[in-house]
Structure 1
Amino acid sequence: MGATGAQDHAHDHAHNRGGHVHSRGGGAGHDHAGHSHGVAANADRRWLAIALGLIGTFMAVEVAVGILAHSLALISDAAHMLTDAVSIVLALIAMRLAARPARGGFTYGLKRAEILSAQANGLTLLLLALWLAYEAVRRLIDPPEVAGGVVLVTALAGIAVNVAAAWCISKANRSSLAVEGAYQHILNDLFAFIGTAVSGLVVMTTGFVQADAIATLVVVVLMVKAGYALVRDSGRIFLEAAPAHVDPDAVGDRLVAHGLVTEVHDLHIWTITSGEAALSAHVLVEPEGDCHAVRRDLEKLLSAEYGITHTTLQVDHAQEALLSVGRGEAGDGHCAAPHGPVHREGPHVH
């Protein structure tokens, strides 16, 4: 292949890797400027901090009122608000950790801290939903005395606080699963206060004390829905699944459709953190093809059609012997331990 060709292939093999750029002579590397969100991150933290202040202040007031009014319902709402506050604190911590640069053994940095936060928020929503469902059923069977007037007034104040907190968090970047987790906590608390206000009004006007438990069961359904979505989405990222909107087989077929590409295998697509997908693949091109031109074409295609800009493409010339191989397994002569489907020009092997 020659010295120049060998150097070019070495560049192809290592092109576009994230993190630190190591080079001789201090040459500039790709800094992935699109991954830097310093100003936006500061704004997000500011909005989350405002929401935390609102939630924390009202929670303290609600606990005091609940104790004075002997209202378990209000104290339970305050406990729910405590989980809201914890979810915001987790999101703030995760954002701080994710902003740290990659170093040492953490080659992606701590970007997945926000996914841990999202999973914790989802799990707490599900666990809280189980507890509230148990309490609601128990109160349907043996309803306690409820001070409807106190419940109604406090719930209306809670609605106002949660609307303000939800608005603050909606101003932050909700594509972050950590922020979305905090938002879902606040939103479910808002629904809970609306249900509490309605139940308080019903108790005041009709004396039907079971209204409180019925309203709680409606909120439980919403909490399970939101909690399941957070656990599912964060779980996909931890299991290195492809983004939900990307079909790896379709991507492989699209790449091999390039005129000079003969085969694509060892194709992997995963999500580093919210909204940051990555791809790696081994690409074989015709012997007379220009590996660099093909790589650039494929990178442009992945960016334009799939929004994937963090790519590592190993591009090699297909050997004449390999071109004669039929529909065999991937890696005949060029991969020690291949895995995943093989995409070839013409009939594809999946």
Structure 2
Amino acid sequence: MAHTHDHSGHDHTRHDHRAGHVHGSTDKKRVLIAACLTGGFMIAEALGGLFTGSLALLADAGHMLADSIALGLAWYAFHLAGRPATGRLTYGFGRVKTLVAYTNGIAIFVIALWIVYEAWGRLQAPVPVLGGPMLVVAILGLVVNIGCFFVLHGGDRESLNMRGAILHVLGDLLGSAAAIVAALVILATGWTPIDPILSVLVSLLILYTAWSLMREAAHVLLEGVPPTLDRDLIARDLETTIPGVREVHHMHVWSLDGTSNMATLHACLGEGVDAYQAVSAVKKRLAREHGISHATVEPEFGQCTDTGGDHDHDHGHDAAPHHGHYH
């Protein structure tokens, strides 16, 4: 049975990216400003940590390094969004962000583990810490992070890119606050172990961020169903709302880059049903109600073309998407 390549349902492309057209340019600038501020102060904070002997400052600098990379990736994602696909890269460059994010997560893990190792050594043999200069650098870091937060705060709240960027900056705010607390304790009591203790707390924050980043990136790379979608519920929705669709099976739902959702499926139609109209209705329903921006639908009458026999009544037993069905 030949595939129906109808794209009349592709009004979802406009639906899916409408907000991006409105906010994309300003969001791209906001993220770039935040990345530059974070990356620039990260260097100053790292130098301050080396000068003062503060591991808390170095830990926060490590966190800011990770987040400046993440913000840079967010900016790059906006930059790549306008680039067209090619004959070799038919989906464009959307997954570059995911690949780099996974690698970035591994790098963050290494930084955090080094901080924990160094903190353990300093707890065993405390080193002098210059509380005054440490406090100045930490306060400056807090000011920079507050500035980044307000720069990003005016962006598109519906954009996953922007929401992720804001979460990274909030993490930096916590790191700067921890360094300020450590500096105040050292100035008030001279108790330097507070510096490595709070450094470990910041490292745990970094490890949590890295694990979340790697887990989300791996889920996308493994073409898992996006966490906001339920494949079986979507299949049942199509069966009950689209006239002429008796059954949906061999359905696969995945994300190209964590934001652009896609699907392939077989739609078993009743006798006499117009395949063009049915496929168009399925695509429109997927776009408008489920946020699936690209769908390939194979209409069937009678037997399933993949099995040559009775329909597989599960909504998707295949281990991977039918890559030959990409359109």
- 1:30-74 per-position Cα deviation (integer Å, ceiling 9, x unaligned): 693345534533212211222133224434444554555455654
The residue aligned with 2:325 is none
The residue aligned with 2:215 is 232
Q: Is the 8 A contact 2:252 2:263 kept in 1?
A: yes
Q: 1:89 aligns with which of 72, 96, 99?
A: 72
Q: Secondary structure at the match of 2:91?
A: coil
Q: Which runs of 5+ in 2 are unaligned?
A: 319-327
- What is the root-mean-square deviation in Å for CA atoms of aligned residues? 3.3
The 1:214–1:75 alpha-carbon spacing in structure 2 relative to 1, beyond 3 Å, is: closer
Compare CA radii of gyration and give the structure with the larger one. Answer: 1
Q: 1:332 aligns with which of 308, 313, 324?
A: 308
**What pairs up with 1:99-110 in 2 under 5 angstroms?**
99-110=82-93
Q: CA deviation at 1:239?
A: 0.6
Q: Secondary structure at the match of 1:112?
A: helix
Q: Secondary structure at the match of 2:4?
A: helix
The residue aligned with 1:40 is 23
1:261 matched to 2:245? The reply is yes
- 1:67-105 per-position Cα deviation (integer Å, ceiling 9, x unaligned): 554556545544543343333333333432332111211
**What pairs up with 1:305-320 in 2 under 5 angstroms?**
305-318=289-302
Q: Between the two structures, name the one with larger relative contact order (CA 8 Å, sep ≥ 6).
A: 2
The 1:121–1:95 alpha-carbon spacing in structure 2 relative to 1, beyond 3 Å, is: farther
Q: CA deviation at 1:108?
A: 1.0
Structure 1 residues 44-53 or 58-67, which shifts more?
Answer: 58-67
Q: Secondary structure at the match of 2:134?
A: helix
In 1: Cα distance, 2:152 partner to 2:122 partner: 33
Q: Is the 8 A contact 1:17 1:311 kept in 2?
A: no
In 2: Cα distance, 1:219 partner to 1:333 partner: 58
Q: Which runs of 5+ in 1 are unaligned?
A: 1-8, 19-28, 324-328, 343-350
Q: Secondary structure at the match of 1:131?
A: helix
The residue aligned with 2:149 is 166
Structure 1 residues 30-39 or 206-215, which shifts more?
Answer: 30-39
Q: Is the 8 A contact 1:98 1:114 kept in 2?
A: no
The 1:315–1:204 alpha-carbon spacing in structure 2 relative to 1, beyond 3 Å, is: same
* TM-score normalised by the chain length of structure 2: 0.81
1:50 matched to 2:41? The reply is no
In 1: Cα distance, 2:50 partner to 2:77 partner: 34
1:217 matched to 2:210? The reply is no
The residue aligned with 2:175 is 192
Q: CA deviation at 1:295?
A: 2.5
* TM-score normalised by the chain length of structure 1: 0.76
In 2: Cα distance, 1:187 partner to 1:81 partner: 11
Q: CA deviation at 1:301?
A: 3.2
In 2: Cα distance, 1:182 partner to 1:122 partner: 15
In 1: Cα distance, 2:214 partner to 2:82 partner: 23
The 1:140–1:281 alpha-carbon spacing in structure 2 relative to 1, beyond 3 Å, is: same
In 2: Cα distance, 1:334 partner to 1:16 partner: 29
Indicate the structure with greater helix content: 2
In 2: Cα distance, 1:213 partner to 1:63 partner: 15
The 1:191–1:312 alpha-carbon spacing in structure 2 relative to 1, beyond 3 Å, is: same
Q: Secondary structure at the match of 2:282?
A: helix
Q: Is the 8 A contact 1:270 1:279 kept in 2?
A: yes
> Residue type of the partner of 2:108?
L
Q: 2:113 aligns with which of 130, 134, 139?
A: 130
Flag as ranges the 4+ runs of structure 1 deviating above 6 A: none
How many residues align? The count is 313
In 2: Cα distance, 1:297 partner to 1:285 partner: 12
Q: Is the 8 A contact 2:94 2:256 kept in 1?
A: yes
